[in-house]
Amino acid sequence: MTKQEFLSKLEELLKSMPEGERKDILYDYEEHFQNGMANGKSEEEIAGSLGSPQTIAKEILAGYHVAQAAANVSVVNITRAVLATVSLGFINLVFVLGPFLGIIGILTAFYGVALALIATPVLMLLAAGFPSEAAGILAWIFTSMITVGAGILLGIGMIFVTKWAGKAFLKYLQFNIRIIKGA
């Protein structure tokens, strides 16, 4: 593979990155080619020593998406970082996607419990009707206040847990990428 073919392929694979960052990366690789040619190596030898543009692009994109997610923690950014990291190899399917789906499942379950606690009084009223005696009304009001309060508190708590889990998972992704790169 020639220098031009290598750089063109790498540029095509990195098109989802901002242009400035992409140009910096391409400049670094072009400089690597120039240094190698100054040392008497052919373009094909240099391209071979660098490795596949696909592998390089996957590593660069994984690092980029993890950095983006760390800078702006959101479900979309974390999901992009997970998918980019999973694309680095089959082993990441187990060590990245598995825990990610597990965490998403647990968080979803707790959000569901919070929603169920908030909706319980309305569902009780629809299922059993409004109590007729005073003691029943007071018990229903008291139970409703407890379940709605517990649901709201759980929902608020889950917002903080979700933010913490997102940051913790990003650290895990960064650790995973460092292991893959061998740093």
To the nearest whole number, what is the mean pLDDT of the chain? Answer: 89
Q: pLDDT tens digits, residue range 111-148?
A: 999 999 999 988 887 877 777 787 778 888 898 999 99
Helix axes 75-86, 53-71, angle to 10 degrees: 160
C-alpha–C-alpha distance, residues 168 and 179, integer Å: 17
C-alpha–C-alpha distance, residues 62 and 170, integer Å: 12
180 vs 73, which has greater pLDDT?
A: 73
Q: Enter the DSSP assignment of 54.
A: H
169 vs 89, which has greater pLDDT?
A: 169
Q: pTM for the full model?
A: 0.70
The answer, yes or no, to whether residue 31 has pLDDT greater than 70, is yes
Q: Residue 183: which pLDDT band, with cuts at 50, 70 and 90?
A: low
